[in-house]
Amino acid sequence: MENLIASDPGGRNVFALLVPDQLRLAAQSLRLARRVAIVTGFYIPEADAGETDGPPGAKTLGDALAKLGISVDYLTDSYNAPLLGSLGLEPVTTHDSYLDSAKPSHLVSIERSARARDGRYRNMRGHDITATTPPLDELFLEAARRGLTTIGIGDGGNEIGMGKVFAETLAAIPHGHEIASTVPTDFCIATGVSNWGAYGLAGALSILADHDLLPTAAECSAQIETLVRDGGAVDGVTHRREPTVDGLPLADSLRMLESIRQLIVPSPLERRLPVTVGILGYGIAGRAAASLLARHGHRVCISDLHSVALEEGLTVAGVETGGHTIKFLAQCDLVVASPGVRPDALILTQLHQRGIPVISELELAYQLCPYPLIAVTGTRGKRSTIELMQRFFAARAANGMESRRGRSSRDPTASPLIQRGLEGGLTIGGNKGRPLSALLLESALSIANRQSPIENPLIALAVSSFQLESIVHFRPHIAAILNLHEDHLDRHRSLAEYARIKSRIFMNHRPDDILILPYDDPRLRALARKHHGRTFFISASQPLDRGAWLAGGKMHINLDGMVESIAIQQDEASAEFFPENLLVAKLVTRLVLPDVQ
């Protein structure tokens, strides 16, 4: 969820401000709150109005806390009071004695400007807004002196709370030297849009409370529309009086809300009962997903822009051609959208409005996958890496089977991963190859037909950034990030945003999962700090404590303090492979089949 809400549509380098685990810690602290003061409101002098980012988040978080029986006060200035009033909140606008009279246990700021180094208040563009920004940040400084718990949510580095990441703001944010907040909070939540940070905090509270505390999509829309219509709010980026937030359409807020909800409520597939699943786009991924779902006993409805020729033997509950309609898809418990469906397509917004979860083929297949996965991402060389890995597995498995014949005392079933790797080798697919659904289907068919060798497969997938953007619970046991090449990047995105998207490959990791990062790229090396499992590195130039590196024309691997040196074969050294392809492929092979000589 922390990764999700740090999505950075404004290209502000927000991921550079993300301190791992702050969302969880803030929620755990709030869960125990007695009385919470929520401070919000960002007034825009040029528009003579407050903005749409902040108050909806305040309302969402306040409602969630109220549902948990926690008292909530809303604090703002006189400029923003009408906005909160339009949402049915009664804001406190005189703050001098508030801490003494109300005695809150927690203060939360959502999108509220804080003083910079020179004591002035500035907006994201560096404009001085001190004259129209009463110093509500003083409450947080005083709260810190009194030992109250403080939480700050911001999306630009100039807000209350972001003083915790002052150095990062100076380094990563435009105008950072002028605008960087000097007011820290105990917990600081960096997010792409501040409302999203509040939705995330309400989402994290929902997980702790085991109860969905979020507004419905309709309530979320109504909040923002009411704020503009009755509260006179404007968009903080466009300064126009319209129901957009930070220049983003309402549909983006709904998509974020529903994506957060997917992390709270179980997937319909987890009910282990037959459900009705819509397939949006019957292309390569859609075909494989439909057949896999049918095989698992689910009802499948197919919606495509063009005519549909069903896979042989596939029985479906319905087919819609010539376009996607909500009337057809409203019967579904879940919808799988093909990569061809644009993220801003109307049908997706309509599905979000109805609260019907939308997932990708990769996520669907993952939710139905009984096997451990290896996943490789990076700007280039993903495919080559998993192909090399497959070769290394085959070679090592052949040696292993041979050497094991004389070693009956050792139990080859000790590690299921080793067993899989030895017996079945490595099955590969993913981006530009066979989708995971197709691999699972083949495996199911081979089990039915009693055909080895993919009865018990170990699967390695190449995974693109695009695929990573739409995963929910996808958790490969071993994840590797090869590289991040700027020449391949979309110019609308910041490098920090690419690092965030790549890091989604390990965001669901648990302590026994494994991540491999390139040590030579400081931006990717730094992701280790955000990882919850075991991390290994690769390097083309230097020895490592844990990982694989090249030196003196050889490859060296250090898994547990013992350095193993391996000669590089002629064909492996060829120009078609980058060093990271070889290093990752070899390291993964050793990690899975460690004791095979």
Between 195 and 384, name the residue whose CB sits nearer to Ca ion.
195
CB of 413 to Ca ion, least distance (A): 55
Beta-bridge partners for 428: 460
Q: Cα angle vertex 398, ends 392, 402, to 5°? A: 145
CB of 376 to Ca ion, least distance (A): 35
Please list, in sequence order, all residues whose beta carbon lies within 8 angstroms of the beta carbon of residue 451, skipping any fewer than 6 positions away.
none
What spatial distance separates the first Cα and last Cα of the chain, rounded to whole Å?
42
CB of 342 to Ca ion, least distance (A): 24
Q: Would you tell me which residues interact with Ca ion (CB under 5 A)?
A: 53, 155, 194, 246
The answer to whether residues 76 and 37 touch, using CB atoms and an 8 Å cutoff, is no
CB of 245 to Ca ion, least distance (A): 7
Between 53 and 521, name the residue whose CB sits nearer to Ca ion.
53
Between 14 and 292, name the residue whose CB sits nearer to Ca ion.
14
Among the listed residues 226, 274, 214, the one whose alpha carbon sits nearest the alpha carbon of residue 250: 226
CB of 247 to Ca ion, least distance (A): 9
In order, the DSSP letters of 439-505 are HHHHHHHHHHTT--STTS-EEEEE--HHHHHT-SS---SEEEE----GGGS-TTS-HHHHHHHHHGG
Beta pairing class for 478-481 and 187-190: unpaired
DSSP assigned state of 105 = S
Between 155 and 361, name the residue whose CB sits nearer to Ca ion.
155
Computed on alpha carbons and rounded to an integer, the radius of gyration of the chain in Å comes to: 26
Q: What token pair was written down for 432?
A: 């530009």
Between 237 and 540, name the residue whose CB sits nearer to Ca ion.
237
Between 224 and 275, name the residue whose CB sits nearer to Ca ion.
224
Burial (CB < 10 A; 0-12, 13-18, 19+), residue 97, is exposed
Burial (CB < 10 A; 0-12, 13-18, 19+), residue 511, is exposed
For the chain, the residue count is 597
Query: In what helix (H) or strand (E) does residue 555 lie, and over which residues does it extend?
Result: strand 554-558
CB of 164 to Ca ion, least distance (A): 18
Q: What token pair was written down for 548?
A: 């694989």
The answer to whether residues 34 and 10 touch, using CB atoms and an 8 Å cutoff, is no
The answer to whether residues 548 and 555 touch, using CB atoms and an 8 Å cutoff, is yes
Between 194 and 303, name the residue whose CB sits nearer to Ca ion.
194
Between 155 and 168, name the residue whose CB sits nearer to Ca ion.
155
Beta pairing class for 458-462 and 426-430: parallel
Between 55 and 268, name the residue whose CB sits nearer to Ca ion.
55
Burial (CB < 10 A; 0-12, 13-18, 19+), residue 272, is exposed
Between 235 and 363, name the residue whose CB sits nearer to Ca ion.
235
SS3 at position 569: coil
Between 137 and 513, name the residue whose CB sits nearer to Ca ion.
137
DSSP assigned state of 128 = B
Taking phi first (over 0 means left), then psi (-120 to 50 degrees means alpha), and beta for anything else, what does residue 334 get?
Answer: beta
Neighbours of 84 (CB within 10 A): 27
SS3 at position 460: strand
CB of 553 to Ca ion, least distance (A): 53
Between 12 and 502, name the residue whose CB sits nearer to Ca ion.
12
The answer to whether residues 344 and 411 touch, using CB atoms and an 8 Å cutoff, is no
Burial (CB < 10 A; 0-12, 13-18, 19+), residue 491, is exposed
Between 9 and 433, name the residue whose CB sits nearer to Ca ion.
9
CA 329 to chain centre: 26
Chain position whose Cβ is nearest to Ca ion: 53
The answer to whether residues 395 and 591 touch, using CB atoms and an 8 Å cutoff, is no
The answer to whether residues 195 and 38 touch, using CB atoms and an 8 Å cutoff, is no
CB of 514 to Ca ion, least distance (A): 37
